[in-house]
Every structure is written in C-alpha cells, then in structure tokens.
Structure 1
Amino acid sequence: MDVGVAVPQMAEGYGPGTTVDWARGIDAGPFSSVSAGERVTFSNPEMVATLAACAAVTERVRVFANLWVLPQHAMPMVAQQIGTLDHLARGRLDVAVGVGARDDDYRAVGRDFSNRHSRLDSNIAELRQLLAGHPPFDGAEPVGPLPLQPGGPRILAGAMGPKAMRRAARWADGISGFDIAGDREAISRVNALAERCWEEAGRDAPPVKISGCFVAVGIGDAAETLRSFTARYLGFLGPELAGAIAKTAITATPDALRGVLDGAEQAGCDEFIVVPATTDLRCLDAVADVVAARG
C-alpha cells in the first residue's frame, strides 16, 4: 500500500513558505503523493494554486487534488485548471471529485446547494468530454491545454454511502474515502461496498481504493493538537457535534499511525493519505519514519 501526505493547508499557522517546504519534504520522503483539498469559507489557501506550487517543486510524487467540489464550478474552467496542473506536474496529476457538505461554500460562490449529487453526474460527463478535446459548444475551440495524460488524469469519487457509490461506479476510476478515526473496519466496509458496486456496474477493472485520516505525531501535545484541529475543521457542524467527533481522532502517536496504516492495508486500500493537523515539519519527519520502517 502506498502512503501519501496532504499539505497541512487546514491547520493553523499555515504561512507563505508552508506549501513549498512541505511539498519538497513529501517528495523527498517515502511517499506516493502530495495532496490538497478545497474549502472556501475557511482559513485554507486555495486548492488549485496550492497544487500548482506543489507540482512546480516536486519531481516524483503524484499531485492529488483531493477533493474538487465540482458542482461549485463551471466545467470549462475546471478542465483548463486540470490541464494546466497536469502540465505543471508533467503528467503526475490525480483528481478526486465530490459534492461537498458545506452550504456556506456554495453560497459564497453563488451556487445552488440542492441537487448537487445529480449535477455531479452531469459535471463529470461534461468534464470528460472537455478533457478529451471536445469544444464546450459548437463553433468554439477546445479548452486548453489538454492534459498530458491522454483523456485526462484518473478521476476518483469521494463517495462512501451506497447511493453515491452506485452512481460513482458508472463513471469513476475509484474512490477517495476518509475516516477520522482511521478505523480498519469502517474503511473495509467502504472498500467492500466499492468493489461490489463496481462489479454490479459491469466494470472491467476494480476500483482504485484510497482512504485517509487526520494525524498529529512527532510534536508536543500531539493529542490535543489533533483534537482541536479536528473540532475546528468540523466547526460548520456546530460545537457540540464537532467536539464529539473530534474525540474519535486518535492518531497522535507513531504506534497509532502504524496501526492505522496496517489496518488500511488489511482493508484493501491501494493508498492511504495522511492529513496533518499541524504545520510543524517534525510531524512530516515522524510520519516518514513510520512509513519507511514499514518497508
């Protein structure tokens, strides 16, 4: 199983040099990918610009957009951004897409929060056409640049429930899930559901299966850092629910991280994404030690 690392864009203290420092460190470590996600009404830097910086300063790891909230955007612009990122990464781009869970982000960009699941299906159909070089309308030129990867990068679905998984099985190359506790049984259930839905959809190849969790290791007061980060990230759910969920985030020691990674591999993951709860580079060093020791 591969292990990727997200830049800590949702953590407090993310500064002007954080993206480049972490991306270079990830590229130099025993990791498979560097990733960033999308939120609008939060403190994080914007995903596409962040990934562009990651692509420019890395040579080896995949560059992973995890996760692109497609119904918030116009597909020709997304196609151009994907093509540009794939060029900057020299064909190393992967993309996960989903519908998001935050009404405020949709409101902030003037998009409707309702019917977003069905819109995602049509978004994907349009996006794949654009990435294959079809113009956005009759008489127009194609949206450029076309990705270096023919037809575009692989597209994974941020689907975890049965209904979303069945829809994803029609168009995705795999899934990008997440479990705050990094629980093997929970991850295994999602992966088994994906395999079943892909089989029922008559897909020739099994789904790529990726998961991840929040992590804080190698720093002082790691457990509290992890808890407070998780509660802050989930603040849109309200303080009571966010605090309750934050108590399930327990990957705050090297031993706990080893257990999570072993469990994810047993659950059938092809890759696991470590999402740091801190910008402290000692966390990246500690994660690298754990991953290197796994062989």
Structure 2
Amino acid sequence: MTMPVMEPDLDARVLQTWARAIDEGPFSSLCWGERIAFDNPDSLTLLGALGAWTDRVRLVTTVIVPQLHNPAMLAKALATGDMLCGGRLTVGIGVGGRHEDYHAAGADPKTQTMRGMADRVAVMKQIWAGEQVTESVRPVGPSPVQAGGPPLLVGTIGPKTVRSAAAWAAGLAGTTLDLDVAKQNELFDVARAAWAEAGNPKPHLATSFWFAFGSPEQARGQVLRHLRRYLNWIPTEYVDAMAPTTGWAGSEDELVAVLRRFAEIGTDEVQLIPTSSDLEQLQRAADVVARMS
C-alpha cells in the first residue's frame, strides 16, 4: 500500500494514521514516492517518521531519484533510515520524468539518464560497504542494518532500462497505467532473462497502479481528480483523455480478479496507489488483500 503523500491537505495525524493502519493490516510493504516541485512531504524526512510509526511492514521508496541528491548524503540518509526501521528498508530508484524537479533541486538535467543513476548507485554501494569515497578521517556512516545496504529496485516501464539495471538492482518497482497483464509479463520476462544472464538470483517483480473504490462514476471521478492534480505537468486535455483507462476503479470483487491475474504471471507484489486520503479506501483495500491471503 502506498501512502497518500500526493493528496492535498495532509498533516502529521493523517500520515501517522495511514502508516499505522498499513502496518497493522495485511499489506507486505508501505510505499511512498518523491517529488520536489510539489507540496508532498520530503521523502527522506518522512522515512524517519515511518520508521518510528511502524514495526512490521517493509518500507519501500517508489521511487527516489538519486540524481536529485548528493550521493554521499543520500547514502547516509538511507542508511540512517535502515537503522531506524531495523533493516526493513527497500529503495526503489528511477531517473524521474520531470525536468522541473531537476531544476528545483539544482540538479543537472543532463544526468537524467540510466548512466547518471548507475553512477550514483555505485557511490552509494561503496559507502554502504564501508569504503572511503573521499579523503576523510572516517568513512561516511552509519552502516546500514542490511549488509551491503538496502535492496535496490529499479523503477521503470521500459525493457532497455530493465536490462541495464540487472547488474545492480534486486528487482523492479514498475508501474502499469492500463493494467495490461500481458504487456507487464513481457517486461517481467525481460527482467528474468537479464538477471539470469547477469548470474543474479531471480528478480523481485513488483508493479503498481492507482486505485479507487466506489460506483463506476464515483470511482472514475476520484481517479480523474487525482490524476489532474498529480500529473500537473501534462496538459489537462491529455490527462482527461487518459483517465478513463488509467488505473483501476470499481468494487472489491473486481479488484480481487485483477490482482489474481497479476499473481498468475508471477508478480511478487502489487503496490496499490490511493487516489484519496480517505481511510475507508484503505480499509476496503485491506479487506481485498486479506481475501487474497
């Protein structure tokens, strides 16, 4: 389950209530994403709070963009987060799709590439291994609880990106807009082959999609409102055109059927993304997941 971090009018009470409900529920992971030029909470600050608010569930960033951060400081922050949550952290990373975030963070848009991301991953892995990457008396710490650092998942929907990440990632933290299971399985097959060719264990295969419970008109309206807010860098007419087929909207039985189709292709985890901060939406999703267990 993804935290409603992209919803309006958030405060500490809402975030804490969601985090504790997710932790106490049937979910495998608690996820949250990163944006800079938006009024969402800072991802790394929130990581510390989530470590304190939860005890069981894995914490998964979906996704952080390493090029928006100094790699040593990012490695330090993530290692601290891994320490605070007792080794429950998984780090989904991606190149990001918004130039405005690069500009807002003072980052070079020319680094918005897989090479730019891989270079920063290499630095973070050196730091997590206890190596000194600069001339200093002591290396950058603390050491993460998980040996070698938190597992890394690559956020992507493209086969070229998947293949290039096989050398350093533990799997995928992808997304599907139209819930095309066959197309998702094609990407999973690319990952399976790339990881095997690299001599690595089979990849963790995760995907995600937006969801809304309710009558067809009500639920689709909720998805549309969320997309208009979240996809604010895309012209509204394009968002409106894609909204009817983006994400999932419907009843509990219909979501169970969708999740079972993803399970049939070997999906290890579906990371549901809420389109509202209403706790009823979270509870209905929890009821669905409990039925799947």
Normalised by the shorter chain, which TM-score bucket? over 0.9
Superposition pairs of residues 21-170 of structure 1, within 5 angstroms? 21-117=17-113, 118-170=115-167
What percentage of residue pairs aligned between the two structures are identical? 35
Does residue 1:256 correspond to 2:282, yes or no?
no
> TM-score scaled to structure 2, two decimals?
0.94
Secondary structure of residue in 2 paired with 1:246: helix
Q: CA RMSD in A?
A: 1.6
Secondary structure of residue in 2 paired with 1:237: coil
Offset at residue 242 of structure 1 (A): 2.0
Once the two structures are superposed, what CA deviation does each residue of 1:42-101 show, in whole Å capped at 9, x if it has no partner?
Answer: 121111122221111111100111111011111111111111111111110000111000
> TM-score scaled to structure 1, two decimals?
0.93
Offset at residue 176 of structure 1 (A): 0.6
Aligned-partner Cα distance in 1 for 2:267–2:167: 20
Offset at residue 185 of structure 1 (A): 1.8
Gaps in structure 1 of 5+ consecutive residues: none
Secondary structure of residue in 2 paired with 1:145: coil
Aligned-partner Cα distance in 2 for 1:139–1:293: 53
Aligned-partner Cα distance in 2 for 1:41–1:247: 26
- Count of residue pairs the alignment pairs up: 290
Offset at residue 287 of structure 1 (A): 0.2
Offset at residue 245 of structure 1 (A): 2.2
Aligned-partner Cα distance in 1 for 2:244–2:8: 19
Does residue 1:221 correspond to 2:222, yes or no?
no
Offset at residue 250 of structure 1 (A): 4.7
Please identify, of 95-104 and 249-258, the stretch whose mean Cα deviation from structure 2 is larger: 249-258
Secondary structure of residue in 1 paired with 2:249: coil
Please identify, of 217-226 and 168-177, the stretch whose mean Cα deviation from structure 2 is larger: 217-226
Offset at residue 204 of structure 1 (A): 2.9
Superposition pairs of residues 139-288 of structure 1, within 5 angstroms? 139-200=136-197, 202-217=198-213, 221-253=218-250, 254-288=252-286
Gaps in structure 2 of 5+ consecutive residues: none
Offset at residue 235 of structure 1 (A): 2.1
Q: Which residue, out of 3, 7, 16, partners 1:20? A: 16
Q: What is the identity, as a one-letter code, of the residue corresponding to 1:64?
A: V
Aligned-partner Cα distance in 2 for 1:256–1:210: 20
Aligned-partner Cα distance in 2 for 1:73–1:207: 26
Aligned-partner Cα distance in 1 for 2:21–2:194: 37
Once the two structures are superposed, what CA deviation does each residue of 1:84-125 show, in whole Å capped at 9, x if it has no partner?
Answer: 111111110000111000000000011111242211111111
Q: Contact 1:19–1:50 (CA<8 Å) still a contact in 2? A: no
